Chain A
């Protein structure tokens, strides 16, 4: 566990949005598993924290939800990305890239500022 990174709220929401963009409408368990897979199991995700995050996204209007039936015939609540959610994903992704780029430049050894 020690070498697994914790997930904090903001990034969890971003990951959930990205997952919904990639895979289309999906239930909470699916989103959680997908996030773990994508991170190649480097993230220690407490599945329970995903649900308040999804509810928050729904309250903000970035996702909608409705009950449906899964491939293996189980009742589940499916989340779907809205148009506002797509825009928000683009925006946050860009911001994230910029932030990581700046941080990377700081942390990469050998490139001294002139």
Chain B
């Protein structure tokens, strides 16, 4: 207790910083006066009396010092002193300080900004109970190299019943369906889920109840999301028990989920219990989530699930051949799409920070060199080596702290701006919660501290490595012909190498994006507008009903002023739709006994290909007379012609398309059209077969109506909606957009990565150039005398310039060499980040190297010109 009290008093004295030398001196003065009196009384002369008294005291100053040490906490006192001194020194060198702090703020800011996004998306726990126990289980298929495939309903039941690793397991699938409340029908995002799914993820409805022991065949029930409930029921608890129409069938609302609940990051509107679904083992459409048993590790669960997969392979070789199970922690699975991108960008900004640190370290070294005299003087006056190191480290700590604080501000602004920009284009869970929270603060503090120490320690020791005597002598002598020290040259080379590697990365992505943008999509997107519709299946199950609606809608849309043409299609290019079917070819054996041929099956009404500007390569496209009752026809793309009828004409050939277990449809190929990029601009066209919607028995509720306009297509959005609505008010319209926008939003992701990586690479380049500039400028200032001598001996200005620029290029060349090797190794990492990346593209490498060399030339030219203008007389006289 007493010790604590004393310590607190000393702490207080240190912190308040009030030193009362007056009082201490008064007490010692009074002490000396007593002693001198006594000594004089004992017969000494006053001078002798005073000397003896001081001797006995052990020195006046020393005693004051030992009292001061007892008064406060010496460690804290020196820290205070160091801080005050550091701030004073830094304020006296505003140029150096500003450069260091800004460099540092940029590095730290970039890191904190990206970290706050990583934190929101990848690190913050999912709003589920014990999310670490939750595992997503996907099917894998070796043959098609699928890692995240869905599982069929019967296979899911097998997984659920046979596994020993999971306490519970549930499945779900997307089911976007028209949802009617009152008079209104909207296109809603829904999920069918196992009845037990809320127990598995450990989140119960906020009001009402979960599905409980719902069984297939029980009454139709639905659970709404908080958002949907608030939008359509005003957040009223009386919604429980009311009915909504899903796909025209009345469903009773039994519960509402808590706010922000989402299963896998889709913002769902409703959840429906999963009934007995398609029993076809070949149709994997379910995603599976399981909660691990206590004490079961992910690896054990993996072994367990692979054993089940192998068993199923033996039992059902036709459909389960090569099908495995892929277990991913739920937290990772949710952000799977953005995980790699985020981690790539995180490492990129890490490298930027390294460059920033190297820069500041180089600055510190340079300053250390000019401070040799000051440091030597302090050492000579008795400051210990460690004391001086501590002083220099305090200075870097102050810079780091200032840079970190400024960086946090930078991060705070850029992160929210970036998140807002990205949130428009990506549906990533958590992106809306990007903010500067405690974690970000902690991260910034840690990074600043690490960087501060990292770039401070080495220069601090380097500055003090020499004997103080030498330093004093050396500092007073002119430094002649001395080039920048090896450490600084090494730092600049490293910076240049890292910057080059980043530039190659950024350049590769930019080139990929440009290539994507320049890729001909195979159709003409201008003057087109589209609306995605979802047909309520019960009333649209009959072909007649569908055809009737198609005709009515087309008629009304075509009648709109400003519309030139209109057509229905099921898979509009780049519109994120896909439908693969298996079929047989008349007169050709199936490729394998269990599976037929497979192709993308599209649906296009008369005039679609002409309107889209897709060329007809042979035969004809769909025409109005291809209606029900007329012969069933198909139009294929060139890829399909090459794949299925190589070397022969596909026209007039027939294919068999199974509709369900009993019936199939025979279609005659009547035309071949040009290939279009369906899935992505970066993915080459796949074989594709189109049928006419007027003849199509393919089930499917998603269709798109496309209209060609005379003027700006955007202006037609509302009248398009009204026209479709007037044809049938029960068909909800989800997304209306111009086809130009569809195309450009398909390359939003590559553009984002190219922009981000490009921007950070540019930042790295600027930092590296600043570093090089600083080094060369320093070197020029050190060699003034030498240049003066050279000029005096008749050297031309151009010779001097060549000398300086040569030194810069020398460093840059070394950096480029190392950087190219780095980039060769690292650019492979970009494959898989964006579709269509070509790593080790020589054009990118060459262009980036040129940019870097040009930038370094610029950075050395300024000091070189200064060197060339050295006046021989002035330079020689000043030394």
Which residues of A are at the interface with B, using a C-beta cutoff of 8 A?
A: 27-30, 33, 46-49, 51-52, 55-56, 59-62, 70, 72, 74-77, 84, 88
Whether A52 touches B6, Cβ cut-off 8 Å, given contacts A46-B58, A76-B30, A77-B27, is no
Sampled A-B contacts (5; CB under 8 Å): A48-B63, A52-B70, A55-B67, A55-B70, A56-B6
Interface flags for B55-67 (1: CB within 8 Å of A; 0: not) read 0111100110011
Instruction: With both chains docked as a complex, state the minimum distance between the C-beta of A47 and any C-beta of chain B, in angstroms.
Output: 5
Whether A48 touches B58, Cβ cut-off 8 Å, given contacts A28-B27, A29-B34, A29-B35, is yes
Whether A51 touches B27, Cβ cut-off 8 Å, given contacts A59-B5, A60-B3, is yes
Complex Cα distance A84/B71, Å?
A: 20
Whether A74 touches B70, Cβ cut-off 8 Å, given contacts A46-B58, A47-B58, is no
Q: Confirm or deny: B33 has a beta carbon within 8 angstroms of a beta carbon on chain A.
A: yes
User: For residues 268 through 322 of chain B, which have their beta carbon under 8 Å from a beta carbon of chain A?
Assistant: none
Per DSSP, are chain B's interface residues mostly helix, strand or loop, or mixed?
A: helix
Chain B neighbourhood of A56, CB < 8 A: 6, 70
Chain B neighbourhood of A59, CB < 8 A: 5-6, 9-10, 70
Whether A48 touches B30, Cβ cut-off 8 Å, given contacts A59-B9, A60-B5, A60-B6, is no
Residue of B at shortest CB range from A65? B27
Q: Contact at A27–B70, with CB atoms within 8 Å?
A: no
Q: Confirm or deny: B337 has a beta carbon within 8 angstroms of a beta carbon on chain A.
A: no
Number of CB contacts from chain A to chain B under 8 A:
72
Residue of B at shortest CB range from A52? B70
Complex Cα distance A56/B28, Å?
A: 16
Q: Contact at A47–B57, with CB atoms within 8 Å?
A: yes
Complex Cα distance A51/B63, Å?
A: 8
Given known contacts A52-B69, A75-B30, what 9 new A-B pairs fall within 8 Å (CB)? A27-B30, A46-B58, A47-B35, A47-B56, A51-B24, A51-B27, A55-B71, A59-B6, A76-B30
Instruction: With both chains docked as a complex, state the minimum distance between the C-beta of A16 and any C-beta of chain B, in angstroms.
Output: 14
Chain B neighbourhood of A60, CB < 8 A: 2-3, 5-6
Which of B5, B31, B57 touches A61 (beta carbons < 8 Å)?
B5
Complex Cα distance A46/B66, Å?
A: 13
Complex Cα distance A88/B3, Å?
A: 13
Whether A74 touches B9, Cβ cut-off 8 Å, given contacts A48-B59, A52-B69, is no
Which residues of B are at the interface with A, using a C-beta cutoff of 8 A?
A: 2-3, 5-6, 9-10, 24, 26-28, 30-31, 33-35, 37-38, 56-59, 62-63, 66-67, 69-71
Per DSSP, are chain A's interface residues mostly helix, strand or loop, or mixed?
A: helix
Whether A74 touches B33, Cβ cut-off 8 Å, given contacts A52-B70, A59-B9, is yes
Complex Cα distance A34/B70, Å?
A: 23
Complex Cα distance A33/B42, Å?
A: 14
Residue of A at shortest CB range from B71? A55
Instruction: With both chains docked as a complex, state the minimum distance between the C-beta of B807 and any C-beta of chain A, in angstroms.
Output: 58
Chain B neighbourhood of A52, CB < 8 A: 66-67, 69-70
Chain A neighbourhood of B57, CB < 8 A: 46-48
Instruction: With both chains docked as a complex, state the minimum distance between the C-beta of B28 and any C-beta of chain A, in angstroms.
Output: 7
Whether A28 touches B31, Cβ cut-off 8 Å, given contacts A47-B57, A48-B62, is yes
Chain B neighbourhood of A30, CB < 8 A: 34
Which of B28, B35, B56 touches A51 (beta carbons < 8 Å)?
B28
Chain B neighbourhood of A55, CB < 8 A: 67, 70-71
Residue of A at shortest CB range from B32? A29
Chain A neighbourhood of B38, CB < 8 A: 33
Complex Cα distance A74/B155, Å?
A: 102
Complex Cα distance A71/B207, Å?
A: 88
Complex Cα distance A70/B38, Å?
A: 14
Q: Which 10 pairs across A and B sit closest by C-beta, in order of nearness?
A: A48-B58, A48-B63, A59-B6, A52-B70, A29-B34, A46-B58, A60-B2, A48-B57, A29-B31, A76-B30
Instruction: With both chains docked as a complex, state the minimum distance between the C-beta of B63 and any C-beta of chain A, in angstroms.
Output: 4
Chain B neighbourhood of A28, CB < 8 A: 27, 31
Chain B neighbourhood of A88, CB < 8 A: 2
Residue of B at shortest CB range from A84? B2
Complex Cα distance A60/B4, Å?
A: 8
Complex Cα distance A52/B768, Å?
A: 54
Complex Cα distance A49/B26, Å?
A: 16
A29, A46, A84, most chain B CB atoms within 10 A: A29
Chain B neighbourhood of A27, CB < 8 A: 30-31, 34
Residue of B at shortest CB range from A29? B34
Chain B neighbourhood of A47, CB < 8 A: 31, 35, 56-58
Complex Cα distance A88/B1, Å?
A: 13
